[in-house]
Copies of this chain bind each other. A is one copy, B any other.
Amino acid sequence: MAVASPAHAEYTMIPDEPRTITASGLASRVGGVLEGDGDCVIRGVATIEDAGADDVTWVASPEILPRVANSRAGVVLIPTDCAAPEGRIVIKVHDPDSAVCKVLAFLAPPRDVVPPGVHASAIIEPGAVVDGAAVGAHVYIGAGVRIGEGTQLYPGVFVGMNTVIGRDCALWPNVVVREGTTIGDRVVIHPNATIGADGFSYLQRDGAHRKIPQIGTVAIEDDVEIGANTTIDRARSGVTRIGRGTKIDNLVQVAHNVKIGEHCILVGQSGVAGSSVLGRHVFLSGQVGVSDHRKIGDGVQVAGGSAVLADVPNGQTVRGSPAIGAVQFGRREVALRKLPDLIKQVRELSRRVEELEHGEGG
């Protein structure tokens, strides 16, 4: 049962004024070298095109430096080996992309934080260990659950019995994690995602579908991120596994017994059917489907909207529905564009051959 409720004044940060930082403050925060007026005040981060006078923007690589000419940005982060465009306040850094992440983190507005302890309205079943975790309002935690230090469960989260969650995770509101799931450290699960629902598998007997018990589990390794309203099914037996560092976008379906390797990216609305195996560093773009029992090699890239029906060897880029090599797909697209003309050409050729056959030609 609920153990202790923190005072409500502690429950969330009271919103601050929007943060600001000067150009010189920025330079020291990102470890860069400032050229220009250090007193310029920055309130936000924006792209080269969208930035205003109180925004910082960034130039990831020298070839896009000329685009800065038309930008209204107050400060520009540029690579160390670039010359500052005239009249600009710049900060030279080794890696502008990483530097801008530091700025974003600094300028981030306050957000809801679940304070350590258990909210009075949360329900914790016997045998659950949540010391050091932060359990929000209306959370339900089943028997035998173990949750690591620093992990936040936002309001409305359900954690089924015997699930183990590591340290410093965030389960956003209304996430459901069913029984027996294993979740590593620093895992983020966005709102309304469902982890560990039954896999979809039936036996057809006498014209009906009999449910095959789904007694396996889900294992989510360290540093995985799982998008809002995404579903990851438990295995029939054994485990559905999401490898370390893999990032999954919103509304993605990962079926029972799928294994996804380390550091993969699954973009929104993609889906992987039962028992398929993805290697390391696989990239599925949006709305990609991978059919069941397939093997997708390391480093494979799949273009948006493709349907992968066959195994794909390491390192390949595939595209189409059914997916084929991207080069072959490109050639086919070019050919398709010519097809209506080709039909006319063949009709014309046929006429000419007929004329030749009847000796009406030359």
Contact = CB atoms under 8 A, between A and B. Distances in A.
Interface stretch (A20-28, A32-40, A67-75, A284-292): A284-292
A82 interface: no
A156 B121 CA distance: 13
Given A263-B208, A356-B361, A307 B309 contact: no
A126 interface: yes
A332 B337 CA distance: 8
A92 interface: no
A205 B304 CA distance: 23
Contacts of A143: 11-15, 112
Contact of A192 (B50, B174, B223, B304): B174
B14 A127 contact: yes
Contacts of A197: 172, 190-191, 227-228, 250
Nearest to A104: B213
A228 B227 contact: no
Contacts of A95: 205
A160 B111 contact: yes
B161 A247 contact: no
Interface in A326-354: 331-336, 338-340, 342-343, 345-346, 349-350, 352-353
A66 interface: no
Contacts of A211: 225
Contact of A136 (B140, B173, B230, B251): B140
A152 interface: no
Interface in A207-236: 207-215, 223, 225, 227-231, 233, 236
Contacts of A250: 194, 197, 200, 231, 233, 253
A259 to B, nearest CB: 11
Contact of A202 (B136, B247, B356): B247
Interface of A: 1, 8-9, 11-15, 44-46, 50, 95, 97-98, 100-101, 104-105, 107-112, 119, 121, 123, 125-127, 136-138, 140, 142-144, 154-156, 158, 160-162, 172-174, 176, 178-180, 188, 190-194, 197-198, 200, 202-203, 205, 207-215, 223, 225, 227-231, 233, 236-238, 245, 247, 249-251, 253, 255, 263, 265, 267-269, 271, 273, 281, 286-287, 289, 291, 304-305, 307, 309, 321-322, 331-336, 338-340, 342-343, 345-346, 349-350, 352-353, 356-359, 361-362
16 contacts: A14-B126, A45-B237, A109-B180, A154-B158, A174-B174, A176-B228, A202-B247, A228-B233, A251-B253, A255-B268, A267-B273, A291-B304, A331-B340, A349-B350, A352-B357, A358-B362
